[in-house]
């Protein structure tokens, strides 16, 4: 029997159950067996039916489950999962390190972040540029051991998305933040060093200069460097 080791409100318990069952679905725990009923889940995890019902609803909204009349609740194929949901992406990244998934994520980044950088050069206000500068300065501090390299790098990229002044690009914040944690860990480990300050400085400088073309090119070069590392790792695997 699996007991939820969670204290606090019922909502915390719901999210704990969501996380546990979501991970189980993504790693394939139910591939060879029917998904449990809500009553069975409640018994297995020693939670109330209301907690179980809410967690199942949330998993359904994320595309992992589907409920059909007289057929009960079943696990959906991976192609139906909402890959832009931060929880789903996190479970996939935690499932097993995958160069394929890492490459696919960076293929998405290269379609989004250079354009966001160009838009930031065109439209960012003083606050947006200051946030990018702050992210960069955190990276400088991280090089000196005075900040967290991973969090500083993420702060820079999120600031660029938000400075684009386009709400659709800003909506990628959560998915980029979640996936960058794996991507940056990989690239830093593969290179044996932290992210390139000159490459990030080039993005910031272009945005500050209101040079959209240079901003796009600088961000593209940064991500292409990551993709080259992934390609090298795939070739040596």
How many other β-carbons are positioned within 10 Å of the β-carbon of residue 73? 17
Q: Are 209 and 201 contacting, i.e. CB atoms less than 8 angstroms apart?
A: no
- Residues 155-191: pLDDT tens digits? 999 999 999 999 999 888 888 888 788 777 777 666 6
Percent of the chain residues topping a pLDDT of 70: 92
**pLDDT of 229 above 60:** yes
| Backbone dihedral region for residue 46 (phi beyond 0: left; psi -120 to 50: alpha; all else: beta) | left
Q: How many CA atoms lie within 13 A of 85 on its CB side?
A: 16
For residue 80, give the DSSP letter: G
- Residues 146-162: pLDDT tens digits? 999 889 999 999 999 99
74 beta partners: 66
C-alpha separations of 147 from 133, 135, 150, 193, 230 in Å = 15, 11, 9, 15, 26
Higher-pLDDT residue of 101 and 49 is 49
pLDDT of residue 192: 59
Q: CA 191, CA 188: separation in Å to the nearest integer?
A: 5
SS3 37: coil
**Which domains, and CATH codes, for the chain?**
10-80 (1.10.10.10), 97-236 (1.20.120.530)
**pLDDT of 8 above 50:** no
**pLDDT of 4 above 60:** no
**pLDDT of 7 above 50:** no
User: Which residues, 6 or more positions from 9, have their beta carbon under 8 angstroms from its beta carbon?
Assistant: none
Q: Are 222 and 199 contacting, i.e. CB atoms less than 8 angstroms apart?
A: yes
Give φ, ψ of 73 to 5 degrees: -100, 135
Q: CA 93, CA 132: separation in Å to the nearest integer?
A: 27
pLDDT of residue 6: 43
Q: Are 61 and 76 contacting, i.e. CB atoms less than 8 angstroms apart?
A: no
């Amino acid at each position: 029997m699996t007991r939820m080791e969670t204290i606090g409100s019922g909502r915390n318990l719901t999210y704990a159950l969501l996380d546990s069952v979501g991970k189980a679905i993504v790693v394939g725990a139910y591939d060879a067996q029917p998904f449990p009923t809500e009553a069975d889940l409640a018994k297995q995890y020693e939670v109330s039916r209301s907690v179980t019902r809410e967690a199942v609803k949330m998993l359904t909204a994320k595309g992992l489950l589907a409920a059909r009349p007289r057929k009960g609740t079943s696990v959906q194929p991976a192609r139906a999962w909402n890959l832009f949901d931060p929880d789903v992406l996190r479970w996939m990244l935690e499932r097993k390190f995958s160069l394929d998934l890492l490459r696919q994520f960076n293929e998405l980044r290269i379609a989004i972040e250079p354009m966001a950088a160009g838009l930031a050069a065109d439209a960012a206000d003083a606050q947006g540029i200051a946030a990018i500068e702050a992210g960069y300065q955190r990276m400088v501090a991280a090089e000196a051991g005075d900040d967290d390299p991973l969090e500083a790098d993420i702060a820079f990229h999120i600031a660029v998305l938000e400075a684009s002044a386009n709400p659709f690009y800003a909506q990628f914040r959560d998915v980029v933040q979640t996936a960058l944690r794996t991507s940056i860990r990989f690239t830093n480990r593969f290179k044996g060093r932290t992210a390139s300050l000159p490459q990030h400085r080039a993005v910031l400088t272009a945005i500050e200069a209101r040079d959209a073309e240079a901003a796009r090119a600088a961000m593209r070069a940064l991500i292409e460097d990551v993709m080259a590392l992934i390609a090298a790792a795939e070739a040596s695997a």
